[in-house]
Each structure stands twice: as structure tokens, then as C-alpha cells.
Copies of this chain bind each other. A is one copy, B any other.
Amino acid sequence: MNKGLGYINIGDAFDGFVLIKEANRGMASNGKPFLTLILRDSSGEIDAKLWDITKEDEQLFVAEQIVKLAGEINQFRGKAQLKILSLRPAQSTDDVHVTDFIEKAPVEKEALMEKLTEAIFEMKNPTMQRIVRAFVKRYQDALLTYPAATKNHHEYVSGLAHHVVSMIALAKELHKLYPQINKDLLYAGVILHDLGKLKELSGVITTSYTIEGKLLGHIPMMVEEIGHVARELQIEGEEVLILQHLVLSHHGKAEWGSPKPPMVREAELLHLIDLIDAKMNMLNRSLEKVKPGEFTERIFALDNRSFYKPLFEEQ
């Protein structure tokens, strides 16, 4: 049986089902058309070329089509590329589904929802609890399926909820170690901080930025929406302002998209927790793909660094 696309090496043969993520027509130097394909399964992606295509090929092999494929892994400009030896579209009898080929959070939606509900239940400040509850109710479906980003970290189905639930666990432990922390405020900040992404990003499968997302960004959109929700719930009091500040400042610096830096203890912590969970997600997933004694690929969002897995690590 095949290893997933995220784990194959140069020289490996490959035989199995994959999903076409993108298909672009090109013209070869011999004047014949070809397709550049990006193929994926739930473990990773790979590029491939399909040479000398016919009109039918062009119509068959399009984005979101599942295909059965045999080939081998070559190297092209220092990157793996799949050389296609044979391919056909999947048929209903193959019993394969688009969702089989998309990366998902390692935790189920129901479990994520349960953790969220539990955290909200723990909160004692009624104002914060009401605001958070209103948001979770309003966005429950999207919150449980959206990725946390289009790339870099938690860029998979349910990625946003997975990120939030991990951060809640971190918040809980930090509160135990530093009891001065206002746990309700930190929980509320964690749950709300990235909800603006539900409007900034276009959806779950082929995620891009909405026009609103490009022109305003998720941070100001969420600050505004907290204002709307507070009006609807007829809530007043400093909680609204402080929650808006937590969302506004959670990128930490103006250069990173926060026009105000954290100026409340829990805002500073929210920024740090966000950072740790994003970094651990990237590090763990990259290191999982290499053996002891090797370096990972360069990780763009970690300053393009490559990480070493020491020889004494056992997988």
C-alpha cells in the first residue's frame, strides 16, 4: 500500500487515488497542449504534468475530480514531481469521496464543540459569557469547519476550532501557574480572536480571501462585530471595550496588523498563546515527516528556518 503524498520520497512508485486540486493548461515546446496538475490527498500535495492531452482529457481532469493514478516520483528543480504513467477518473464503484482527500483536524468536530461548551460553562463573568455564547451560536457551523488560515498553520478542515481548543487548554494551565490571570477574559479572547476569519476567508475547501477580507481584514471586522453584538444584547460596561482590545491587539505589533499593541495583561497572553500553538502546529507536522538526523524543509512562517531532529529522538 502507498504512503500518503506527504511522505513519499524521490524514486518511490505511487499507485492510488488522489484529488485534483488545480489543473492548468499549458503549451509544450513541441506545440502540444498539456496539463499542470496539483494533486493532493489528506497527507500532502504534489505537482504533476499530463503531456499531449486531448480535448476530452481537458474536460475530465479538472479541479475537485478524484483520479486513480500510477506513476513515480521524480525531481524537478529541486522539488518532487509525479511522473504519471497511467490515470483514470474515479468511478462510483471505487467508493472514494472528496472528503477522504482533504486534511482534517486530528480531533472530531463533536469533541471540539464539547471542549468549547465546557470552557464557556466555566466562565463566571456573565457579560463575557453572554457575548461569547452569542458568537458561538451565530457561527457554530462555520467555526467547526473553517481552517485557521489559508496556509502555514492549522490550514485544514476544523483548523480554526482545533486551534481555539488547544489555546483554551494552554490558557487553563497558564492560569494555574499564574493565578493573577483573569481566566474568563483570556478564554473569551481565545474563542473570539480569530472569528473574523469566517468572513475574511471564502470557505473550507478552496480557501481564498473575500473582498471584505482584503480591504478590512479579520481584525477590524471582528472588532466591529463585537460592537454590533453588544448593542444587540444591550450590553454595556468595560468588558466590551476590553474584548475589542484583545481582538485588536492579538497580532502583537502594528507591523503585524494590530494597530494597538497589547495593553492589558490577558491581551499580551493571548498573543503569546496564539504564537505558541501556531508554532507547535507547524513544528510538529514538519518534524513528523523527517527522520532523526535530518532537517525539515524550510518553514516559511518560522522565518524560513529549517529544523533539526536530533539523533536521540525516537519516533
Stretch at the interface among A57-65, A136-144, A149-157, A210-218: A210-218
Tell me the minimal C-beta distance from A119 to chain B in angstroms: 15
Per-position contact with B for A25-49: 1 when CB-CB < 8 Å, else 0? Answer: 1111111001000000000000001
Q: Is A180 an interface residue (CB 8 A)?
A: yes
Tell me the minimal C-beta distance from A213 to chain B in angstroms: 10
Among B223, B254, B263, the residue within 8 A (CB) of A307 is B263
Tell me the minimal C-beta distance from A125 to chain B in angstroms: 7
Which chain B positions have C-beta within 8 A of A49?
29
Among B29, B228, B259, B283, the residue within 8 A (CB) of A30 is B29
Stretch at the interface among A91-99, A110-118, A239-247: A239-247
Given contacts A31-B51, A308-B211, contact A216 B260 (CB under 8 A): yes
Stretch at the interface among A1-9, A13-21, A100-108, A272-280: A272-280
Count A-side interface residues using an 8 Å CB cutoff. 84
Which chain B positions have C-beta within 8 A of A265?
283-284, 287, 307, 309
A198 CA / B312 CA spacing, docked (Å): 25
- For residue A302, which residue of chain B has the nearest CB? B268
Given contacts A228-B228, A254-B257, A268-B283, contact A214 B263 (CB under 8 A): yes
- For residue A52, which residue of chain B has the nearest CB? B31
A83 CA / B31 CA spacing, docked (Å): 9
Given contacts A29-B34, A308-B214, contact A24 B75 (CB under 8 A): yes
Q: Is A227 an interface residue (CB 8 A)?
A: yes
A256 CA / B255 CA spacing, docked (Å): 9
Q: Is A53 an interface residue (CB 8 A)?
A: no
Given contacts A75-B24, A254-B254, contact A241 B215 (CB under 8 A): yes
- For residue A265, which residue of chain B has the nearest CB? B283
Given contacts A254-B255, A272-B276, A312-B125, contact A305 B261 (CB under 8 A): yes
Which chain B positions have C-beta within 8 A of A27?
74, 76, 81, 83
Tell me the minimal C-beta distance from A204 to chain B in angstroms: 23
Per-position contact with B for A179-207: 1 when CB-CB < 8 Å, else 0? Answer: 01010010000000000000000000000
Residues 224 to 276 of chain A near chain B (Cβ within 8 Å)? 224, 227-228, 231, 237-239, 241-242, 244-245, 248, 254-265, 268-269, 272, 275-276
Which chain B positions have C-beta within 8 A of A185?
310
Q: Is A170 an interface residue (CB 8 A)?
A: yes
Let me know if A258 and B259 touch, CB within 8 A: yes
A310 CA / B204 CA spacing, docked (Å): 26
- For residue A292, which residue of chain B has the nearest CB? B238
Given contacts A216-B245, A265-B283, contact A237 B312 (CB under 8 A): yes
Contacts A215-B242, A216-B260, A263-B307 supplied; 11 other A-B pairs, CB < 8 Å: A24-B75, A173-B173, A174-B276, A185-B310, A223-B223, A224-B227, A254-B255, A263-B295, A263-B306, A264-B308, A269-B276
10 nearest A-B residue pairs (beta carbon): A173-B173, A215-B245, A224-B224, A28-B29, A224-B227, A257-B259, A238-B311, A180-B284, A178-B280, A265-B283
